[in-house]
């Protein structure tokens, strides 16, 4: 029986597949080597993907998500119409198209091996989410490799000697990545620090052309352009989608021809778009990508002339300006073969076809189904991180109030009423002035950021640009982060009122008076949320209508977000008590007293609840009965909550140190000096721990 293997590249804006059965070839879907990575929920409640979603996007613009990959590893669902869809389910539908197409060509048999690709800078959470999506798509044993490695496997083959280096410049539809790889006996390994930018790609170029076409439309009818930008009626959202399509087609056309024409919607007018115009729009971003490639080469301790080649990967690398500027900087080392979007999938299929590589090689799986192990270079055993290394710091000129993340993008509220967008490498992108001070962390949604402000406003902004989507008045200042639940944004104000508004336009859905102030972040589930009051009561509130199902009475104020694990709500109070509460009935299953008050976020690791208290102790509690399994003295009278990276717990001890605790050894392994006093716990984003430090945001890398 013929064996066959499958390689899949789930891209930010386009996805591709390849199969290996003797030879390796692209897996064409509907006659194309790639399909849009687009998902849409149709009126019957069915998730449709790819071209089918693209066809219906203009009809149902509120039901579509064009770049679902951005949200893998995030707790935020995709809001498609009025339904909240798990990101893993959406990605599974994309993967399933290639699985089904391959099976169709092989008598219905599933692949004998499957390899999926991921960006080189992804952390464990995002890789594990991709493995989960593959499992849901019927690939229980899928392996992962890094996208640059897959590209190198396809491009290079045996043409580069062991020990030689190649560069990979991957400019896709939604993101940009760079890497330097060294050929080994068994494949390739990454050297130096991979680079990139999740905000640069073909979609960003589309929006620049979209704004240009919009300015042409505004010159004809300014009011019409205003409606297309901000109108809620489907007529306007459809016109905006049509204009974006015209922008994308214009970008693609001028890659082959000096000029093209674009149709402006609703006014039946054509405008000429030239290659020169488009190049002027995108040149700053292309310059940035070329500089990033140079930085990546430098981080590997190499000169450009020490690379055998630099391969251009990704659909947007076909833009003539890319080849021109890369050649100007790096000379004749620039190389490309085949259709650039397919090469990553072809490399993945090549790896899937061969025998499983030796564990730890860069061409091996970084994660296998059911595992969270990370690959290590050939010849070295994996060592668990124990040390903390400061990777970067960015001074934002005002005290940090909160940090939220979408993929590798960070959104930071600071004390001067400003919201900043940066990324996990510490690069600043933009800042916007909020209508009031935001005291809590910004909350990510699908393409949006939600912020509660001190001037009695709940605000939603576009995550890509920072432009205001809407703002809604509430009864008082919002001093805790709002939450996103289904199609609602929910916030509690200083007048003790819980308000739920529409995620799309800010219109009020329901109000609930609580009778107590709230200083703890809320916890949200599929059907209900938990709201903790300073009078000790913790309410379960149903999302459908804002009714209270039960109220659990803690004897002391609760300033820590409850955590729901299975059917148990974990609640910690200022009196030092931690409770396990039945989520259905609101009855206590157990209660445990610690050595001091708890006012930093609790978290779970394995079967333990990790809680830091003001006595300077980190405790591991069995989450089934609350018994203390162990304690570690961390020092410091005012610790933040705990963040976990693998088996390493990290917390701010409140007296100027970021403390690392090995959870297996139950011992402190490192302390890193920071400026304590921030309101938020450390945040794990990919392989970086993001920490508030006075007026700065600091990126810390755990290392062995």
Looking at residue 291, its pLDDT comes to 92
* Residues 154 and 375: beta-carbon distance below 8 Å: no
Over residues 8-33, the pLDDT tens digits come to: 999 888 899 999 987 888 888 877 88
Looking at residue 608, its pLDDT comes to 92
What percent of the chain has a predicted confidence (pLDDT) above 90?
Answer: 47
Position 333 pLDDT exceeds 90: no
Position 432 pLDDT exceeds 50: yes
Question: CA distances (Å), 184 to each of 191, 205, 239, 356, in order?
Answer: 12, 37, 52, 15
Please state whether the predicted TM-score (pTM) of the whole model is above 0.75.
no
Position 370 pLDDT exceeds 70: no
Position 368 pLDDT exceeds 50: no
Domains and CATH numbers, the chain: 5-200+281-353 (3.30.420.40)
Looking at residue 646, its pLDDT comes to 82
Over residues 340-356, the pLDDT tens digits come to: 678 889 989 988 987 54
Pick from 39-48, 183-192, 359-368: least confident? 359-368
CB atoms within 10 A of CB 51: 16
Looking at residue 408, its pLDDT comes to 77
Position 379 pLDDT exceeds 60: no
Looking at residue 502, its pLDDT comes to 87
Which range, 69-73, 173-177, 488-492, has the best average confidence (pLDDT)?
Answer: 488-492
Looking at residue 382, its pLDDT comes to 41
- Calculate helix-pair angle for 202-220, 234-254, nearest 10 degrees: 120
| Averaged confidence pLDDT in the chain | 86
Position 515 pLDDT exceeds 90: yes
Looking at residue 363, its pLDDT comes to 37
Structure tokens at 443: 């909350």
CB atoms within 10 A of CB 233: 9
Over residues 122-171, the pLDDT tens digits come to: 877 788 899 999 999 999 999 998 888 888 888 776 677 888 899 999 99
Q: Which long-range contacts (CB under 8 A, 24 or more apart) does 135-139 make?
A: 135/369, 136/88, 136/89, 136/92, 137/92, 137/93, 137/95, 137/96, 137/99, 138/96, 138/99, 138/110, 139/6, 139/95, 139/99, 139/110, 139/111, 139/114, 139/369
Looking at residue 372, its pLDDT comes to 28
- pLDDT confidence band for 661 (50 / 70 / 90): very high
Over residues 455-474, the pLDDT tens digits come to: 999 999 988 888 888 899 99
Position 373 pLDDT exceeds 60: no
Position 371 pLDDT exceeds 60: no
Over residues 595-610, the pLDDT tens digits come to: 999 988 898 888 899 9
- Calpha distance 506→489 (Å, rounded): 8
Looking at residue 367, its pLDDT comes to 35
Pick from 226-235, 296-305, 448-457, 541-550: least confident? 226-235
Average pLDDT over residues 372-381: 31
């Amino acid at each position: 029986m013929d064996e066959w293997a499958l390689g899949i590249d789930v891209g930010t804006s386009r996805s591709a597949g390849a199969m290996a059965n003797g030879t390796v070839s692209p897996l064409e879907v509907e006659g194309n080597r790639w399909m849009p990575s687009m998902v849409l929920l149709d009126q019957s409640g069915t998730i449709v993907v790819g071209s089918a979603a693209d066809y219906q996007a203009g009809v149902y613009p509120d039901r579509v998500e064009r770049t679902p990959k951005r949200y893998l590893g995030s707790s935020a669902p995709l809001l498609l119409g009025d339904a909240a869809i798990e990101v893993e389910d959406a990605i599974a539908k994309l993967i399933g198209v290639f699985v089904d197409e391959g099976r169709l060509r092989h008598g219905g048999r599933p692949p004998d091996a499957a390899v999926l690709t991921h960006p080189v800078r992804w952390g464990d959470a995002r890789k594990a989410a991709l493995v989960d999506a593959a499992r849901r798509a019927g690939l229980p044993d899928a392996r992962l490799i890094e996208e640059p490695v897959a590209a190198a496997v396809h491009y290079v083959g045996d043409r580069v000697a062991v020990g030689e280096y190649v560069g990979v410049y991957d400019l896709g539809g939604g993101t940009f990545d760079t890497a330097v790889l060294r050929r080994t006996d068994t494949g390739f390994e990454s050297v130096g620090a991979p680079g990139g930018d999740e905000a640069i790609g073909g979609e960003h170029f589309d929006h620049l052309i979209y704004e240009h076409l919009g300015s042409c439309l505004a010159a004809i009818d300014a009011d019409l352009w205003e409606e297309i930008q901000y109108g809620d009626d489907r007529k306007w959202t459809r016109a905006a989608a049509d204009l974006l399509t015209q922008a994308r087609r214009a970008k693609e056309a001028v890659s082959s021809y000096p000029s093209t024409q674009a149709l402006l919607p609703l006014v039946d007018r054509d405008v000429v778009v030239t290659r020169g115009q488009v190049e002027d729009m995108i040149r700053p971003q292309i310059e940035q990508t070329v500089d990033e490639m140079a930085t990546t080469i430098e981080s590997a301790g190499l000169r450009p002339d020490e690379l055998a080649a630099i391969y251009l990967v990704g659909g947007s690398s076909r833009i003539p300006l890319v080849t021109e500027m890369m050649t100007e900087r790096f000379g004749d080392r620039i190389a490309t073969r085949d259709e650039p979007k397919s090469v990553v999938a072809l490399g993945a299929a090549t790896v899937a076809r061969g025998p499983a590589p030796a564990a730890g090689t860069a061409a091996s799986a970084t994660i296998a189904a059911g595992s969270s192990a990370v690959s290590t270079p050939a010849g070295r055993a994996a060592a668990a991180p124990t040390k903390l290394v400061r990777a970067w710091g960015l001074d934002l000129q005002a005290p940090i109030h909160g940090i939220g993340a979408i993929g590798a993008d960070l959104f930071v509220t600071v004390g001067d009423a400003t919201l900043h967008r940066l990324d996990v490498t510490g690069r600043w992108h933009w800042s916007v002035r909020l209508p009031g001070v935001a005291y809590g962390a910004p909350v990510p949604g699908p393409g949006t950021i939600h912020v509660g402000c001190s001037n009695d406003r709940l605000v939603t902004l576009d995550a890509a640009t920072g432009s205001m989507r809407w703002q809604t008045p509430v009864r008082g200042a919002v001093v805790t982060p709002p939450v996103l639940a289904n199609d609602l944004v929910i916030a509690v104000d200083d007048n003790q009122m819980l308000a739920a508004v529409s995620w799309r336009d800010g219109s009020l859905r329901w109000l609930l008076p609580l009778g107590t102030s709230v200083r703890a972040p809320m916890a949200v589930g599929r059907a209900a949320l938990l709201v903790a009051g300073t009078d000790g009561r913790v309410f379960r509130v149903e999302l459908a209508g804002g009714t209270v199902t039960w109220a659990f009475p803690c004897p002391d104020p609760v300033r820590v977000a409850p955590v729901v694990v299975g059917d148990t709500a974990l609640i910690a109070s200022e009196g030092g008590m931690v409770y396990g509460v039945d989520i259905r009935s609101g009855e206590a299953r157990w209660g445990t007293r610690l050595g001091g008050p708890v006012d930093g976020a609790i978290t779970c690791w394995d079967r333990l609840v990790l809680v830091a208290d003001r006595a300077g102790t980190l405790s591991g509690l069995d989450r089934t009965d609350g018994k203390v399994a162990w304690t570690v003295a961390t020092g410091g009278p005012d610790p933040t909550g705990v963040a976990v990276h693998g088996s390493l717990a990290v917390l701010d001890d409140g007296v100027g140190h970021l403390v690392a605790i090995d959870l297996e050894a139950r011992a402190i392994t490192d302390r890193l000096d920071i400026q304590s006093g921030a309101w938020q716990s450390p945040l794990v984003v990919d392989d970086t721990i993001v920490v508030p430090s006075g007026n700065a945001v600091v990126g810390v890398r755990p290392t062995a």
